[in-house]
Amino acid sequence: MPEIQRLDSIPIVFSTTLDATYGLQGGFPIHDLSRPEVVRSSDGAEQTQIRYVNGESSLDEIKLNPFLFSLPSAPQAKEFFRAIQKWEGYVLDVGRDLFRARLVSIVGEGPDQEAEIYLEEVDPDDQELVQPGAVFYWTIGYLDRPSGRLRGSILRFRRLPALSEPELETARREAEKLEGLFE
Amino acid sequence: MVTVVLRGTFIPPLFQPAWLASHGLIRAQESDAANVEIISPQAAIFTAEWLQLSVISNRLHVATTQESFYEPLRDLVVGILKILNETPLRAMGINRSFHYRLASEDAWHKIGNELAPKDMWKAHIDKPGMRSLVMEGARTDGREGYIQVKVEPEPADKIKFGVHVELNDHYQFQPTEPNPMNIKQATGILSECWKVSMERGLTIASKIADIGDQA
């Protein structure tokens, strides 16, 4: 039996069930695991909020409570992007070097507006998403870094899975119905 | 920080960065650079630049601390639900978390005194102080669930004179047992109620912080 020094340094492994008592078999650090306290509202409904509580340990075993759950730790931010203005944009048309879009404010003041945006502003991975009707999010703000503040913008296109054939069919029917209203 | 928590039945090993990228839900570069903590039959936990994802058999939790990615986070959850369109769900939470640093100790105490008056306590305990307060209210949008607000002082070693406000915008689906039919409810709420939820969270948290500003 390994000598127990600190709870967070004891290696253990997953069992096939999550409510088991875990032996000291080596392989997985316990500090990656925690259990959310079961939080219930006044009417007994299960809550969708998470609070973390560790398991229990004794000299010869570690007992982790009924289920294990842990969010990956958020990276310790040395840089922080502060949004001043954020828009949801809709691509109207796409040219050779730029695209035209309607911008609706999400953060910050201002009416809807149209803008022309250079395609090179768009991340290479998002270029194929720049099509009429596509939705994107555009944030302008400050990047605060230890070495100083930078003004910058983040432009990201909406990513959704491709429509299934039944969804396409439904959309076609809906379009035909709407078209009929204008005839 | 914004988090979306789904309660239901999930298959954790499905949730890998490469799987999300293969469906176009995150960029290939984000998948390649993801930091995977564990992918196992019981749990999947990873971060991918702006995204933190954690899933076990009965809970999916996605979060981002970056304001620019609140809407992409929502789209990611909608995308996952559209792909896994037979996933039994029973509840969803759209949660926001705020951290405020107050200008002075007086301002910091004013929030606690306003939210949890001390007169009743002073007769029974010495130097009463608010450690945590949770308020819960009914929804007014006709949906099942509740809205919960939690206010706590930040640990002094983290933020001096700091206050942490958490909002849990909880939606309970009908039927309450995990049911694939609840997918439509979840995607509908994410599409229709997101903006309201974000604005409500900011309004409530700002209101609480403003109590301190008035000191």
Question: Which of chain A's residues have a Cβ under 8 Å away from the Cβ of B56?
Answer: 18, 67-69
CB-CB under 8 Å, A123 with B27:
yes
- pLDDT, tens only, A98-147: 999 999 998 877 889 999 999 999 999 999 999 999 999 999 998 888 88
Nearest CA distance, A160 vs chain B (angstrom): 5
Q: What is the pLDDT of residue A78?
A: 64
A143 touches chain B (CB under 8 A): no
Greater model confidence, A48 or B38: B38
| pLDDT value of residue B4 | 97
CA B194, CA B212: separation in Å to the nearest integer? 28
- Looking at chain A, the number of H-run helices and the number of E-run strands are 1, 12
Instruction: Dump pLDDT digits (tens) for B69-79.
Output: 999 999 999 99
pLDDT single digits (tens) B82-117: 999 889 999 999 999 999 999 999 999 999 999 999
Predicted local distance difference test score (pLDDT) of residue B215: 53
CA pair distance B107, B203, nearest whole angstrom:
19
pLDDT at A75 over 90: no
* Predicted local confidence at residue A9, as pLDDT: 32
| A170–chain B Cβ distance below 8 A for any pair | no
Which residues of chain B neighbour A43 with C-beta distances below 8 Å?
Answer: 146
Average the pLDDT over A154-172 and give the result.
83
What pLDDT is stored for residue A31 in this prediction? 34
pLDDT of A180: 82
Q: Are B131 and B152 in contact (CB under 8 A)?
A: yes
Q: What average pLDDT does this structure show over A70-83?
A: 65
pLDDT value of position A49:
55
CB-CB neighbours of A128 under 10 Å: 11
Which residues of chain B does A156 touch, with a Cβ-Cβ cutoff of 8 Å? 68-69, 72
pTM exceeds 0.80 for this model:
no
Show the low-confidence residues of chain B (pLDDT under 50): none
Question: What span, in angstroms and rounded, lies between the C-alpha atoms of A93 and B17?
Answer: 32
A72 to B61: CB separation less than 8 angstroms, yes or no = no
Give the Cα separation of A30 and B1 in Å (integer): 26
Q: Do B68 and A48 touch (CB under 8 A)?
A: no
